[in-house]
Chains A and B, each alone.
Chain A
Amino acid sequence: QLQLQESGPGLVKPSETLSLTCTVSGGSISYSSYFWDWTRQPPGKGLEWIGSIYYSGRTYYSPSLKSRVTISIDTSKNQFSLKVNSVTAADTAVYYCASRIVGATTDWGQGTLVTVSS
């Protein structure tokens, strides 16, 4: 079982860039069976898949966020990261990183709340 931990600022100003990092332990981020996902959940609302990355660097993004999102991977640090540009209050959410084997997301981070406010 993998352990994942999100880290990054809990408060971001409107129009700025949200940046989060997920550190993976208990296994290699380069393991070929895994994809690495970001999912978010606005307060009191449902889950939204943001996107994912494979160890090769291939990325997949939700069409609704694709223009503002970048996911990257650092295999030397066993980490992957999320950037969301030009944030607004609508980007306020708990952000989760997770590991996925094809369609099954088996291990999740505890989640980190990011608030967009001036």
Chain B
Amino acid sequence: QSALTQPASVSGSPGQSITISCTGTSSDVGGYNYVSWYQQHPGKAPKLMIYDVGNRPSGVSYRFSGSKSGNTASLTISGLQAEDEAEYYCRSYTSADTYVFGTGTKVTVL
């Protein structure tokens, strides 16, 4: 199974909105609603931000939202803040009863 495709980097100014894409196939992203998103700051463990495409865990800011269309899932961060600068990874369940991560996207707050 190949890693899901994410842009290497996305940037935005404070207060702006950005969207990170995560492209897979009909055997993973397109076939199931088990897409999750993780935020990772340098030297830290990943943190769950979105699960099941568009659900936000308790404690995660409302500024984070997720969606999916066909084989591409998206994470949108609205009202960008300095603390949002981090690496973001998507992950999807696959038809092989396994999971696969995306390639990762570095978010820079200008």
Residues of A within 8 A of B (CB): 37, 39, 46-49, 51-52, 60-64, 96, 102-106, 108-111
Residue contacts A-B, CB under 8 angstroms, 20 given: A39-B101, A46-B3, A46-B102, A46-B104, A49-B91, A49-B98, A52-B99, A60-B98, A62-B98, A63-B1, A96-B45, A102-B52, A103-B51, A103-B91, A104-B51, A104-B52, A105-B91, A106-B48, A106-B57, A108-B46
Determine whether the beta carbon of A105 is less than 8 Å from that of B36: yes
Chain A, interface SS category: strand
Q: Name the A residues within 8 Å of B52 (CB-CB).
A: 102-104
Chain B, interface SS category: strand
| Residue with the highest number of chain B CB atoms closer than 10 Å, among A37, A49, A63, A111 | A49
Closest to A37 in B: B99
